[in-house]
Structure 1
Amino acid sequence: MRTVRRLYFYLIALISLEVIVWGVINLARTLFDVLPLGGVNLLAGGLSLVLVGVPIFGIHWAVVQRDARSDEEEHTSRIRALFLYAARFGLLVPVAQNVLAILNRALITWMGRGLDSPLVGGGQTLADNLAAVAVNLIAWAYIERVLRGDWQAAAPSGELPEVRRVYRYAWGIYSLGLAVFGCQQLIRFIFTTPEGLSDLTAAWLANGIALCAVGAPLFAHAWLVIRRGLDEHPSERRSLLRLGVLFALSWVSLGLGLLSLGNLAASLIRWGLGEANQLELWLNEKANWLAVMIIAGVVWAYFSRQCRQAVRDEGEIRRREGLERLYDSLLSLGGTAATFFSLWGLLSTVTEILINQPATLGGLRDTLSYSLAGLAIGLPLWLRPWGRLQAQARAFGDEGDHARRSVVRKAYLYLVLFASVVGGMAAGGALFFLVLSAVLGSPDPNFWLEFARRAEVLALLLVWLSYHLGALRSDGRAAQQAVHERQALFPVLVIQPQGEDSFNEALTHALQQQAPRLPVTLFKLGVQAFSDEYYQAKAVLLPAALAANPPEALRLWLKEYQGQRVLIPLEAEGWVWPGTPLRSPRELAVETARVVRQMAEGQPVRTAAPLTAWVIVGYVLAGLFGLQMLLVLFGLGMSLLGVD
């Protein structure tokens, strides 16, 4: 409840603060507005915002400040830190945007162009921008003072460092976006060769200079602060946020770069296939794609290097391998999608050429060129990372075992299988629809062309399905063999007290089902005597009440035993186990066998919570949602295949 209350007060305070800031900005702009009607509107709007925002902010801010002074938990809460850094970000971004507007408009005016050309602030005046900058800076100064006070009183391991990390990366991404867009505008201007400086090209030049002048220094400062934080606080290097940002920036920039490269390659292929063109016209037409490709390539080259360095900085080898596997899987997934759709387009075009035998390529030139360009880019993008992933999965020992059991690899394979199965259903349905329509007297005018196209899609999907299903089965066979080897090297001793015959039988049956290669030794307490051979067991299973009050012989044996002890919370008179859900003997036996299997296979031990009514309802709702999504995807596939 305190968290909900805290969230309410800080959220209202943040919204009302912004209301006050922009109300004051409107009031400040009335001092310079020369139009009577515009001045009245600004004055009324500004006064209404201030009159509404001031009391709301004052009440809520006074409450949270009082709570922060009297309660340490409130003072160091994550929500307070989020409020302060969100307010800081929300106040500084308008400052940057208004400075950008001033510079952008000044450049456009200097070039003698109309004020409708600037990217930002075309309908504003210098006074409007200066008012916004001044008011936002005043509010920022107050928030900054509060934030500095919190930092002085904060513990080193509090919430502020985590929220500050989010703020720094958000500011870095925002400023990088400004700089990248500015460079794209400048490069586009460079590759365009008009006769003289037109309004459009002048706008590109002015916008690019303004964006770079504002974004580049901001990004340089933000990134230097982030780099300095990595040196001062080694824990920053292990931040999941940092890894996520680096992965996203490198992958998105690579995708944009390859998309631009594909578009350029397709245009060159069309040129080679006889499309009339000239170099100057081609540069003018493709200036935007050239600019995107160059700037995306530069961004990818930098951030991919940073990403690889971040992965190498990981101290734990399994985590490092997992991150590398995730990066390769994302690349391979994009590559296999590009390869599939390019093959689809290529086969469709070739089929139309063979069946219709057109005199010229004509409209087919576009599809053919895009398909060839997609194959040229998609195949290497798929095969190189996929080759590395396959090599890891085929390796012997722990490396191969971890690669095959990786959640990332399984998610990749099942995602491709899911897409192939759903696509296959859609393609098969479209093919049957075409044939049945012809049988029932309503044939398609291009029956054989459409039949061949849909059959090709179905065949392609079956190839993709078969290949990835084979990879999944190969992983399963290798994993099963490794599991059997691990189980055979993990002997288990089960101590069976008298009077628990039903549970003993259920446990023996569960162990045989879940871990058939596990060497299990049954020890009947009170009937057999302990010997040295039992010390070879890697784990011993016994009821928790028996472990808490063991007979003398068992106590002495457990004292010398060096392996794992698995305590089974069987119901016993006079013993209560808090935090342990009630289970039937059969359920408890199955859960115990699962824990032993995890230990034998070297997995982290995770106990499963019993199913509740709400969990079952959640599963049902998830199933219904999944069925709905499946129907949507099926319909989308049918529409892509031309079935209305």
Structure 2
Amino acid sequence: MIQRRLYIYIVAAASLGMLLIGLVNLGTTALDQLFRATPIYTNPRDSYAGFGAVTLVGLPVWGIHWWIAQRLARRNLDERASALRRLYLYAVLAATGVATAIFARGFLEHAAGFLLGTSNDGPSIARAFWGTVVLFALWLYHFRTAAVDRTIAGESGNSATLRRWYAYGLLVLGLAFLLFGARNLLQQVWILLVDSSQTIVPGSLVPSAMATMLTGLVVFGFHLQWTSRAPLAADDRSSTLRAVQGFVALAASVALALFGASQLSYYALARVLGIDHPGGVGGDILVAVAGPAATVVVFSLAWVWIRRQLTTDA
């Protein structure tokens, strides 16, 4: 029984990876030709042949083995509740979730650059959008499959632990994207306000910061809401992983907030002591403190919020 499950889900995972690689790169090649852009790969025909072959192999192999897995799950409740099945589902969710976030961030960055007039790279927008759509579709399918399994067979023990690893891992990733994106965006806005010579130009960090923050907001917001709903919230409230991710996020926020405060204190004390260019700063001191000030503001707010969340869970 275990050997059969191992075989089915290992083959399904490997072939699904092939399918995703093939689909994403086939779409990328087609979009490059559509936009008459410089292709990522030297020979488009060779790309079609190579990634077409990967897709043609991956699709039927994954389809057959996943059909077998689904048929067994419908017939046997133990099969649906097995830890190996949940391992496959949550591993796929984690991989496609992270990849979707990366592609979505790229799409938002290029789109924001286009709207702000700092970029007109249409092919990059299209490529990132295609990758996001493909990966999100597979993520959504497996997410719904896992939800159906939980409803029918329940989730406890190792299966629940696997779900927590996925949920709180993506929660931390989303929070990191959100906080660092917000910090960088605040820094850039500060610089634009205090230095009249600064403008949003091609290569500016503003689109990148906006994309990172928005991606993090979606990933973090979704997983926070999902893990806060019953019955997951009640089941996870006393879990070690939930507490660990909270304290890891708290420790990082505290450390970064204190580091930013120490930098601000350094600049202030240096100016009081008559140092014209503390830390080798050659320009306006208000521009130099933009980074530390943004760090203090963003991560201090995170510090307060995470502490409240931990207090609520206690």
Query: Normalising TM by the smaller chain, what interval?
Result: 0.7 to 0.9
Deviations 1:544-594 (A, max 9, x none): xxxxxxxxxxxxxxxxxxxxxxxxxxxxxxxxxxxxxxxxxxxxxxxxxxx
Query: Match of 1:288?
Result: 291
Contact map agreement 1:29 1:42 (CA 8 A) in 2: no
Point out the structure with max Rg over C-alpha: 1
Query: Match of 1:87?
Result: 92
How far the C-alpha of 1:302 sits from its partner, in A, is 0.9
Contact map agreement 2:110 2:119 (CA 8 A) in 1: no
Structure 2 CA distance for partners of 1:7 and 1:181, relative to 1, 3 Å: farther
Contact map agreement 1:76 1:158 (CA 8 A) in 2: no
How far the C-alpha of 1:70 sits from its partner, in A, is 5.6
Contact map agreement 1:256 1:292 (CA 8 A) in 2: yes
Q: State the distance in 2 between where 1:309 and 1:152 align.
A: 27
Query: Match of 1:199?
Result: 201
Structure 2 CA distance for partners of 1:109 and 1:62, relative to 1, 3 Å: closer
Query: Match of 1:269?
Result: 269
Query: Match of 2:310?
Result: 307
Superposed, which structure 2 residues align to 1:423-434 within 5 Å? none
| Match among 51, 56, 59 for residue 46 of structure 1 | 51
Task: Tell whether 2:118 aligns with 1:113.
Answer: yes
Q: State the distance in 1 between where 2:115 and 2:122 align.
A: 17
**Cα RMSD for the two superposed structures:** 3.2
Superposed, which structure 2 residues align to 1:119-268 within 5 Å? 124-155=123-154, 157=156, 159-192=158-191, 193-194=194-195, 195-199=197-201, 203-229=204-230, 233-268=233-268
How far the C-alpha of 1:17 sits from its partner, in A, is 0.6
Task: Tell whether 2:100 aligns with 1:99.
Answer: no
| Count of residues paired in the alignment | 302
Q: State the distance in 2 between where 1:152 and 1:310 align.
A: 25
Contact map agreement 1:26 1:45 (CA 8 A) in 2: no
Paired residue secondary structure (1:199):
coil
Q: State the distance in 2 between where 1:44 and 1:136 align.
A: 22
Superposed, which structure 2 residues align to 1:421-460 within 5 Å? none
Structure 2 CA distance for partners of 1:263 and 1:153, relative to 1, 3 Å: same
Superposed, which structure 2 residues align to 1:465-476 within 5 Å? none
Counterpart residue identity of residue 224, structure 1: Q
Contact map agreement 2:23 2:134 (CA 8 A) in 1: yes
Q: State the distance in 2 between where 1:52 and 1:259 align.
A: 52
Contact map agreement 1:76 1:159 (CA 8 A) in 2: no
Q: State the distance in 1 between where 2:226 and 2:139 align.
A: 19
Counterpart residue identity of residue 25, structure 1: V
Structure 2 CA distance for partners of 1:303 and 1:290, relative to 1, 3 Å: same
Q: State the distance in 2 between where 1:221 and 1:54 align.
A: 29
Query: Match of 1:28?
Result: 27
**Greater mean deviation of Cα atoms: 247-256 or 130-139:** 130-139
How far the C-alpha of 1:303 sits from its partner, in A, is 0.8
How far the C-alpha of 1:3 sits from its partner, in A, is 5.3
How far the C-alpha of 1:106 sits from its partner, in A, is 2.3
Contact map agreement 2:77 2:153 (CA 8 A) in 1: no
Query: Match of 1:398?
Result: none
Counterpart residue identity of residue 275, structure 1: I
Structure 2 CA distance for partners of 1:198 and 1:148, relative to 1, 3 Å: closer
Q: Relative contact order: is structure 1 or structure 2 higher (C-alpha 8 Å, sep ≥ 6)?
A: 2
Structure 2 CA distance for partners of 1:268 and 1:7, relative to 1, 3 Å: farther
Contact map agreement 2:32 2:123 (CA 8 A) in 1: no
Structure 2 CA distance for partners of 1:15 and 1:299, relative to 1, 3 Å: farther
5+ residue gaps, structure 1, are 116-121, 312-644
Q: State the distance in 1 between where 2:177 and 2:22 align.
A: 27
Deviations 1:188-211 (A, max 9, x none): 1133233130537x7222222233
Structure 2 CA distance for partners of 1:137 and 1:227, relative to 1, 3 Å: closer
Counterpart residue identity of residue 300, structure 1: W
Contact map agreement 2:103 2:131 (CA 8 A) in 1: yes
Contact map agreement 1:94 1:136 (CA 8 A) in 2: yes
Paired residue secondary structure (1:275):
coil
How far the C-alpha of 1:275 sits from its partner, in A, is 1.5
Query: Match of 1:298?
Result: 301
How far the C-alpha of 1:257 sits from its partner, in A, is 1.4
5+ residue gaps, structure 2, are none
Structure 2 CA distance for partners of 1:144 and 1:112, relative to 1, 3 Å: closer
Structure 2 CA distance for partners of 1:222 and 1:70, relative to 1, 3 Å: closer
Q: State the distance in 1 between where 2:179 and 2:88 align.
A: 29
How far the C-alpha of 1:114 sits from its partner, in A, is 4.4
Superposed structure 1 runs of 4+ greater than 6 Å apart: none
Paired residue secondary structure (1:293):
helix
Structure 2 CA distance for partners of 1:229 and 1:161, relative to 1, 3 Å: farther
How far the C-alpha of 1:185 sits from its partner, in A, is 1.5
Deviations 1:521-555 (A, max 9, x none): xxxxxxxxxxxxxxxxxxxxxxxxxxxxxxxxxxx
Paired residue secondary structure (2:32):
coil
